[in-house]
Every structure is written in C-alpha cells, then in structure tokens.
Amino acid sequence: MIPWLDSDSPFPDVERALRRPNGLLCAGGDLSPRRLLMAYRQGIFPWFSEGEPILWWSPDPRQVLFTDELHISRSLRRLLNKRAFYIRYDTAFRHVMLGCAAPRRGQSGTWITDEMIEAYCALHALGYAHSVEAWQDGQLVGGLYGLLIGRVFFGESMFSRVDNASKVALVHLVARLRQIGVPLIDCQQETAHTTSLGARPIPRRAFLSLLRQLVDQPPLAPFVPSAEVLPQNEDERGHC
C-alpha cells in the first residue's frame, strides 16, 4: 500500500518508495505549482496515465546527465556542423508539450495528459518550466521541456518530427546550462536514449544530496539567452 495525499498532505519520505514498481511513492494530491515545485525539490515527480489518480515517483537509482559528461556521437556532430535547425527557447512551450504528448510508434497512449499540460504551462508562466525548440523552414520539428529549479534542470520529455531534432535541442540545452552554471540534468529513469548521450544512473541518496546542494543556488544568468544563436565552438558544443 502507498499513502494517499489530500490537498495539504506533505510527501512521505522517499525512502518509503516501493521497489516494485521502482520508485512509486504515493498517490493523490494535485498538480498545483506549489505541489509540483515541492515535489521536484524533494526528488519526486508525477507520472500517470489518463484515467489514473496522480501517481508520484522517486526511483532508485536515478538517471542523471552531468552537463560536462554529454556524449556527442560523430554522426550527431556532423549534423550539428550542418546547422540544419534553428534553436529557440521558450517561444512555443505548449506546442512542445503537445509534440511530446503525440502518439508514438509502439505506444497506445501518453502520460502527458491535458491536466499535465495545463499544470506545466502554469509553471512556464511562473518562469520555472522551459522549452528548447528545434525549428526548420519555419516549422517546429522537435524539442524538449523541463523545469529549472536553482541549478538543476529536471528534464521531462522530448520529441522529434525530423530525425535527431530533439538530440540537437538537447546539445543546445546542455551548452546553455553550462553557460549559466547548471551542472545537472535529471533524466528520471534509465533509458537507452539518454544513456547514449552520456546519462548514467546514480543512487537515489546521491541524487538527493546533489539536490540539497543545488536547488537553492540561483543560476549565473537567466535560462533564456539574450540572443538566439547556435553553438560556435567546441566548448559550447559539449564533449565527445
């Protein structure tokens, strides 16, 4: 059994999260900005399907990408050198979420429900949730979104309508985070996709220790750059 939250309930200690399914901590509550920010600061995130109650998770281990450990393959580097995409920040947040919510091959549904979209759009309006967008010929063809709290970026989802568009967006995200002193991206759960880009699992306790150090430290500059520019040199592109 897992605890049920009412509107005022605090989250239980993450050490109470189930091992199977890995990280399931509690259910209920709401998706208000206050509740969501409280959750992320404690290493907890919502993940549930349409028709289910709100479910809250804190898996162990936790998949993370340190921004100085980004892996760029030769093929991705060649694509970056072609400058096939124009990168923008926070100009189409809702559309990025809708792109991430669209049906994917081999999946019958999505966890990015209408309720989730409205909740994260509210966080975007408050300056916490951000999108990195890949544009081509005036069309949004890929991107990602997540939350920036202190010096941690909590990645939520990515999508591509053109091959590798989301990977290019991620490379730009990492470059920007490094510029503003953010060393950590939370990828939540281990996947082959994030692993191929340099992410790795760490124990939940180590992840929570990093959160305590970083979430109360302000970034060195605003997330959205003053000019929309593409990376120019090796340092801005990340490491192989």
Alpha helices, DSSP H, located in 50-164: 74-82, 93-101, 114-125
Res 238: pLDDT: 31
Could you tell me if 226 and 131 lie in one domain? Answer: yes
> Among the three residues 35, 59, 83, which one is the final residue of a domain in this structure?
59
Res 105: pLDDT: 63
Could you tell me if 76 and 158 lie in one domain? Answer: yes
Alpha helices, DSSP H, located in the chain: 33-41, 74-82, 93-101, 114-125, 165-179, 192-196, 204-214, 234-237
Confidence of residue 214 (pLDDT cuts 50, 70, 90): very high
Could you tell me if 39 and 79 lie in one domain? Answer: no
Could you tell me if 181 and 73 lie in one domain? Answer: yes
Could you tell me if 33 and 99 lie in one domain? Answer: no
Tens of pLDDT, residue by residue over 32-43, are 999 999 999 999
CATH number at residue 25: 3.30.70.3550
Is the pLDDT reported for residue 139 higher than 50?
A: yes
Contact in structure between 194 and 63 (CB atoms under 8 Å): yes
Res 155: pLDDT: 98
User: Which structural domain, as residue segments, surrounds residue 208?
Assistant: 63-237
Could you tell me if 106 and 33 lie in one domain? Answer: no
User: What's the number of domains the chain is made of?
Assistant: 2
Confidence of residue 225 (pLDDT cuts 50, 70, 90): confident
Could you tell me if 47 and 98 lie in one domain? Answer: no
Task: Average the pLDDT over 185-213 and give the result.
Answer: 96
Helix (H) / strand (E) element for 164: namely none
Could you tell me if 51 and 72 lie in one domain? Answer: no
Query: Could you tell me which of 33, 39, 50 has the C-alpha nearest to residue 9?
Result: 39
CATH number at residue 186: 3.40.630.70
pLDDT, mean over the chain:
92
3 state SS of 205:
helix
Could you tell me if 145 and 164 lie in one domain? Answer: yes
Could you tell me if 111 and 227 lie in one domain? Answer: yes
Res 133: pLDDT: 98
Could you tell me if 100 and 193 lie in one domain? Answer: yes
Could you tell me if 55 and 70 lie in one domain? Answer: no
> Among the three residues 37, 59, 81, which one is the final residue of a domain in this structure?
59
Task: Average the pLDDT over 103-122 and give the result.
Answer: 82
